[in-house]
Amino acid sequence: MSTGSQQPVGEFLAEAEDLLGSLSQKFSALAEGIGDGGVSPDLLNGIFRDAHSIKGLAGMFGFDDIAELSHHLESLLDHLRLGKLSLNTVLMDCLFDALSDLIGLVEGKGVNPDRTHDISASVAAIQKLLNSKSDDFFDPLAGLDIDPELLNVLTEYEEHRLQENLNRGHYLLLVKAVFSIDSFDVDLAALTESLKGLGEVISTLPGVNNNRPDCLAFQLLCGTPDSGSEVFEKLGNEAFQVEVISGLPSVAEENEEEDSSLATGQKEADSAPSQSMRSFSRTVRVDISKLDHLMDIVGDLSLAKGEISRISEDLLGHGLAQAKDLEKSCHILERRLLALQTAVMDVRMVPVRQLFDKLNRIIRRMAQELGKKVQLEIRGGDTELDKLIVEELADPLMHIIRNALDHGIETGPERESAGKSEVGTITLSASPRGNHVAVEVRDDGRGIDTENLRKAGIERGLIKADAQMTEQDLYGLLFQSGFSTRDEVSEFSGRGVGMDVVKNNISALSGMIDLESRVGEGTLLTLTLPVTLAIIKALVIRSCGRDFAIPLTSVLETIILDPGMTQTIEGRQVLELRQSTLPLLHLNQIFQMESTESAGPNQFVVVAGFADKRVGIIVDDLYDQQDVVIKSLGKALSFVRGISGAADMGNQRTILVLDVGGLIEGALRGGVMADV
């Protein structure tokens, strides 16, 4: 494909992703209304509009397969919102299946615009539902004592909503208002919102304004449990007229003169109408690569600022008067750079709800295929993470949830025999923890039996039969490549693939994974991740003649290492720090480096960690703190553990950035990372 044709496809993908994400979230909300029947008409209309937008978007770009499926989905949604079909589990499953096919089609276009797949199953399921509507469907408004002229201007959907309000015993009211032409949009929107708070706005119709060219009149047909007099009183504006067209008689009175019925706050009638070409939206869509480039520039500016600061200090040392002014300017530049960095980071942040809502669809489908009843609870969905971290988090979370559904959640009869509800629960939650975010996946299933883990580990030769292992050591077997407690292979598990991938992916994000479980009660997996990896403040250290950077968010304190402070326990060097034992790491041992220079008279311990895990890194020297932009080492060096990337320090000097999470895991198992 040519470069010129790639850009429009990219625009389609970005717009379609937003619409599909919106549909996924709204479908989840719609499914919650199956039991109580309390489906919001606004929600149904929003879903219908999204499906219609996807159809139009696909048609504009010539993607006929997406347009065809969207058209059928739109027809199904139209029957649902018109009351021709009832919302039930079968229909909801059909909607989710069609959404899955749409997502698959859109993802395929991102790889190859000509790629497609068979949608006949979804189309057939939709047609089956459309053909199943009752043959004795009748005119819902037949026999109602309502002005025919009013009914003639209503759409089929508006007629259905009118009937629904009558079925609920609501009043049908006609609220009349006249607004100045230069503020009618704002005033009408305010009145509409007020009426929605009292009931439902069924239709907005033109009214009569006695030939006043400076005004526009409207009639709003509403359904509400309040009487006309109550609505009139709650609106609090005598300029509005409230007419009861169906329901009990109302004591609301007509207002005196229509030419005085301008809404409160209207502008003078002789003011000129205002027209604007401004967009209603105040958002723009930005490619993340552009933000990456902007972050690179911020990093380069930070390096330049550091060099200017160094020059300023040198000039001050020589007693030059101008150095004071340079120092002041450097401080101003530093503050502005910090504000710029914060602003760029804010743009990169997205709520994790975007990811959680996508996982809801996967949970629903997989639970059906496994024959299990499962509900998803989402907490802390507004917690924000860097967009790139959210993207990289998708696969690990999917693996964890698949394991929870297959291994953790029991079948309905198993749960009932254990005294549980037949419906299992998976809870996805996110919460900020300082400069990190904890993402938790909890299930109320059967839990993990450590004895089964031990037996499987012995059978596969991973541990010795007489090995003394803690509960956490046994849980660690789950993250070994190829490990599985399943003897049989199913579509979802038993191949020994998944949790080792989870661990590797989380480590690549400089994160950690913790597991807790109780047999018969459930399992909790906690992923602790940095808020961002784009630009960080780091402590620069020196070890074995090489410089490294440690993310400052993981540095708890630094200690001068005096002789006699350390001791050896079970072959490992440790330090007693405030009544706790701190394992110590030597970078030359971890990375198998040979020292290029002798250590100075003093060494230091950098106490680093997050969550409840700590490690002491022995270094030869401590330098200053510095903002660094982390660059990936690439797939060719993905095997290097304990290193999260590289950072440009200026003067054409690049140093490695330590992955504290990886170092802690290395310390716990006493392993070697890789040659550096």
| pLDDT for res 427 | 94
DSSP string, 313-336: HHHHHTT-THHHHHHHHHHHHHHH
State the alpha helices, DSSP H only, in 404-477: 412-417, 450-459, 471-476
Identify whether 403 is a catalytic site residue. Answer: yes
| pLDDT for res 497 | 44
Residue 564 CB contacts under 8 Å (≥ 6 apart), including other chains: none
CA 203, CA 205: separation in Å to the nearest integer? 6
Tokens representing residue 225 in the block: 């449990």
Cβ atoms of residues 143 and 166 within 8 Å: no
CA 7, CA 10: separation in Å to the nearest integer? 5
Q: Is 653 helix (H, G, I), strand (E, B) or coil?
A: coil
Start-to-end C-alpha separation, the chain: 40
Residue 613 CB contacts under 8 Å (≥ 6 apart), including other chains: 512, 664
CA 575, CA 618: separation in Å to the nearest integer? 11
pTM, two decimal places: 0.63
SS (H, E, C) 334-348: HHHHHHHHHHHHHHH
CA 36, CA 88: separation in Å to the nearest integer? 11
Pairing state of beta strands 643-648 and 241-246?
unpaired
CA 85, CA 94: separation in Å to the nearest integer? 13
CA 48, CA 67: separation in Å to the nearest integer? 14
| pLDDT for res 476 | 83
| pLDDT for res 66 | 93
Residue 482 CB contacts under 8 Å (≥ 6 apart), including other chains: 460, 496, 497, 500
The secondary element (H helix, E strand) that includes residue 6 is helix 3-31
Cβ atoms of residues 581 and 569 within 8 Å: yes
Cβ atoms of residues 218 and 164 within 8 Å: no
SS (H, E, C) 583-646: EEEEHHHHCCCCCCCCCCCCEEEEEEEECCEEEEEEECEEEEEEEEEEECCCHHHCCCCCEEEE
The secondary element (H helix, E strand) that includes residue 230 is helix 228-235
Active-site residue identified among 165, 209, 360, 403? 403
Cβ atoms of residues 656 and 646 within 8 Å: yes
Q: 536 - beta bridge partners?
A: 628
Active-site residue identified among 74, 159, 384, 665? 74
Q: Residue 540 corresponds to which amino acid?
A: V
Residue 536 CB contacts under 8 Å (≥ 6 apart), including other chains: 530, 551, 552, 553, 627, 628, 630
Cβ atoms of residues 265 and 236 within 8 Å: no
How would you label 289-302 residue by residue, b for 16+ Cβ within 10 Å and e otherwise?
eebeebbeebbebb
Cβ atoms of residues 376 and 443 within 8 Å: no
SS (H, E, C) 125-162: HHHHHHCCCCCCCCCCCCCCCCCHHHHHCCCHHHHHHH
Tokens representing residue 367 in the block: 């639970």
Q: Residue 639 corresponds to which amino acid?
A: F
Sites in the chain below the pLDDT cut of 50: 1-5, 134-138, 248-281, 488-492, 494-497, 671-676
CA 537, CA 20: separation in Å to the nearest integer? 37
State the alpha helices, DSSP H only, in 349-441: 353-370, 387-403, 412-417
CA 396, CA 185: separation in Å to the nearest integer? 47
Active-site residue identified among 45, 52, 164, 586? 52
Identify whether 74 is a catalytic site residue. Answer: yes
**CB count in 10 Å sphere of residue 307:** 12
Residue 466: left if φ>0, alpha if ψ -120 to 50, beta else—which one? Answer: alpha
Which tens digits make up the pLDDT trace of 342-373? 888 888 888 898 888 888 877 888 888 888 88
Tokens representing residue 636 in the block: 């060719």
Cβ atoms of residues 507 and 671 within 8 Å: no
Cβ atoms of residues 90 and 8 within 8 Å: no
Cβ atoms of residues 207 and 174 within 8 Å: no
Q: Is 226 helix (H, G, I), strand (E, B) or coil?
A: coil
| pLDDT for res 276 | 41
